[in-house]
């Protein structure tokens, strides 16, 4: 794709975003003006409420939308205009589209204080214009947890109270088994499933048959096996915690949340401190003292030492290609400058790439501009609540 084509695509995307903004703005102003007329009528409150509902119905019919969708659009547009003006302006000039605007509005709507909304609005546009919607969704979750940790912690505690298991039958010989679990438990379960499925032998030792199951099929079979053959009644979660601030903060001197290594989820501070108190927890330093800077170590060989590999996994979190969310455990360490051309086996020259993007890079099909800078996803700026810790979790089994 040449530069002209890229510019045309970007221009088309901005034009579409401006059209989406025009619709949002028109719906908002139409709804507000019509509701103002209803409120000015001499009528009991129940009549005014029904009149406002009629306004929503008229808009829904004109736009061929549901009334629920119209009300959601009005709420999102009003939230951005009144509580996140920078984002509203960016939407208006086509810098962000309706999908991103909706994600931001939902998060702003959840924030309790004006200061938190202003802090989010001051930072989110720069991130939203340069990242995918999936990355933005994760960023918003982390940012909200740092801006209002107490509210997020209370919400987590309430949500954990609704944990359950649901089973629904499809009628075709399969059924869905769904479990609502605390996030740190779900992460540990996912790690165990992936590792166990990967460790299964490719060839049956007794029959000599090749295992042709997909990874999803192996994981599903493992879940069925575990749940029908195990009798354990306690959850034992082991954690690896990377500290990027003073260790004294971990014992209760801060309310900052924990963040999972891939940046996808935030955990309440008290959950992190509970994990940190376990005798099985392994601590790693991301900001090292002068006695040993792991990330500055250079190996003379092609393969990096385990300490450097672990540090790079923590640094990158996922595949470094912009928009790729492949877990770091499923990536290769790629030499930016090839080893046989003088590239060093060091943090400055190594980055995590998933197998697909690593192969593309090796065959000259991955332009360097698509690889994000290191440590891009860790926001270490202008936050009222510091990051307590970054966590990786796995079950004791």
Q: Are residues 13 and 89 in the same domain?
A: yes
Q: Are residues 117 and 177 in the same domain?
A: no
pTM for this model (two decimals): 0.71
Q: Are residues 122 and 203 in the same domain?
A: no
- Evaluate whether residue 120 is within a structural domain: yes
What phi and psi, each to the nearest 5 degrees, are found at residue 164? -170, 175
Query: What 3-state class would DSSP assign to 230?
Result: coil
How many domains are there within the chain? 2
Q: Are residues 120 and 27 in the same domain?
A: yes
d(CA 364, CA 357): 10
- Apex 25 CA angle, 20 and 28, nearest 5: 125
Average pLDDT over residues 8-23: 96
Give the per-residue pLDDT at 90. Answer: 97
Q: Are residues 11 and 74 in the same domain?
A: yes
- Evaluate whether residue 118 is within a structural domain: yes
- Evaluate whether residue 208 is within a structural domain: yes
Lowest average pLDDT, out of 14-23, 82-91, 141-150, 268-277, goes to 268-277
Q: Where residue 296 falls among pLDDT bands split at 50, 70, 90?
A: low
User: pLDDT digits over 128-140, tens only?
Assistant: 999 999 889 989 9
Give the per-residue pLDDT at 79. Answer: 97
Q: Are residues 124 and 192 in the same domain?
A: no
User: pLDDT digits over 17-75, tens only?
Assistant: 999 999 999 999 999 999 999 999 888 889 889 999 999 999 999 999 999 999 999 99
Q: Are residues 106 and 206 in the same domain?
A: no
- Evaluate whether residue 234 is within a structural domain: no
- Evaluate whether residue 345 is within a structural domain: no
User: pLDDT digits over 226-253, tens only?
Assistant: 988 877 677 777 666 665 544 554 555 4
Give the per-residue pLDDT at 262. Answer: 60
Q: Are residues 118 and 188 in the same domain?
A: no
Q: Domain limits at 119?
A: 3-130
Q: Are residues 20 and 118 in the same domain?
A: yes
Identify the residue whose tokens are 């040449």.
Answer: 2
Q: What is the mean pLDDT of the chain?
A: 83
Give the per-residue pLDDT at 186. Answer: 87
Reported in sequence order, the residue ranges of 90-220 that DSSP labels E, i.e. its strands, are 164-169, 175-180
CA dihedral sign of residues 240, 376, 379, 154: negative
Q: Are strands 258-260 and 389-395 parallel, antiparallel or unpaired?
A: parallel
d(CA 3, CA 155): 47
Domain limit, last residue, from 114, 130, 146: 130
130 has which bridge partners?
Answer: none
Domain limit, last residue, from 201, 229, 257: 229
Q: Are residues 94 and 169 in the same domain?
A: no
d(CA 107, CA 333): 35
- Evaluate whether residue 145 is within a structural domain: no
Q: Are residues 113 and 203 in the same domain?
A: no
- Evaluate whether residue 50 is within a structural domain: yes
Please report how many Cα atoms fall inside a 13 Å half-sphere around the Cα of residue 389, on the Cβ side. Answer: 30
Lowest average pLDDT, out of 23-32, 144-153, 251-260, 344-353, goes to 251-260
Domain limit, last residue, from 207, 229, 251: 229
- Evaluate whether residue 158 is within a structural domain: no
For the beta carbon of residue 38, count every other beta carbon within 10 angstroms.
17
Lowest average pLDDT, out of 149-153, 166-170, 249-253, 381-385, goes to 381-385
Give the per-residue pLDDT at 214. Answer: 92
Q: Are residues 115 and 193 in the same domain?
A: no
Kind and range of the H or E run holding 108:
helix 98-110
């Amino acid at each position: 794709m040449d530069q002209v084509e890229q510019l045309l695509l970007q221009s088309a995307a901005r034009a579409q975003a401006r059209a989406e903004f025009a619709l949002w703005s028109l719906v908002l102003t139409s709804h507000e003006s019509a509701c103002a007329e209803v409120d000015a009528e001499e009528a009991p409150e129940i009549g005014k409420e029904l009149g406002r509902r009629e306004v929503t119905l008229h808009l829904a019919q004109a736009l061929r939308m549901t009334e629920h969708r119209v009300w959601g659009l009005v709420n999102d547009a009003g939230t951005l205009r009144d509580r996140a003006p920078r984002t509203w302006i960016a939407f208006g000039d086509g810098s962000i589209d309706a999908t991103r605007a909706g994600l931001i509005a939902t998060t702003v709507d959840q924030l309790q204080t004006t200061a938190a909304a202003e802090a989010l609005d001051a930072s989110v546009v720069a991130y939203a214009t340069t990242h995918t919607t999936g990355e933005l969704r994760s960023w918003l979750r982390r940012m909200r947890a740092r801006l209002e940790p107490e509210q997020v912690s209370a919400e987590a505690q309430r949500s954990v109270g609704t944990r359950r298991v649901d089973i629904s039958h499809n009628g075709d010989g399969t059924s869905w088994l769904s479990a609502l679990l605390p996030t740190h438990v779900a992460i540990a379960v996912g790690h165990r499933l992936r590792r166990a499925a990967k460790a299964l032998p490719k060839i049956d030792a007794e029959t000599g048959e090749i295992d042709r199951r997909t990874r999803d099929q192996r994981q599903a079979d493992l879940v069925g096996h575990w749940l029908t053959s195990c009798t354990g009644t306690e959850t034992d979660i082991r954690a690896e915690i990377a500290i990027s601030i003073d260790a004294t903060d971990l014992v209760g001197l801060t309310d900052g949340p924990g963040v999972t290594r891939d940046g996808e989820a935030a955990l309440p501070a008290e959950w992190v401190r509970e994990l940190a108190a376990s005798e099985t927890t392994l601590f790693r330093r991301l900001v090292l003292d002068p006695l040993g800077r792991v990330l500055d170590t250079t190996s003379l060989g092609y393969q990096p030492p385990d300490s450097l590999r672990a540090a790079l996994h923590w640094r990158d979190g996922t595949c470094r290609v912009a928009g790729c969310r492949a877990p770091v455990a499923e990536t290769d360490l790629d030499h930016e400058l090839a080893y046989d051309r003088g590239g060093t086996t060091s943090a400055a020259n190594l980055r995590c790439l998933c197998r697909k993007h690593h192969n593309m890079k090796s065959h000259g099909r991955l332009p360097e501009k698509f690889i994000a800078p290191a440590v891009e996803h860790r926001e270490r700026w202008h936050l009222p609540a510091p990051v307590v810790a970054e966590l990786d979790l796995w079950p004791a089994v």
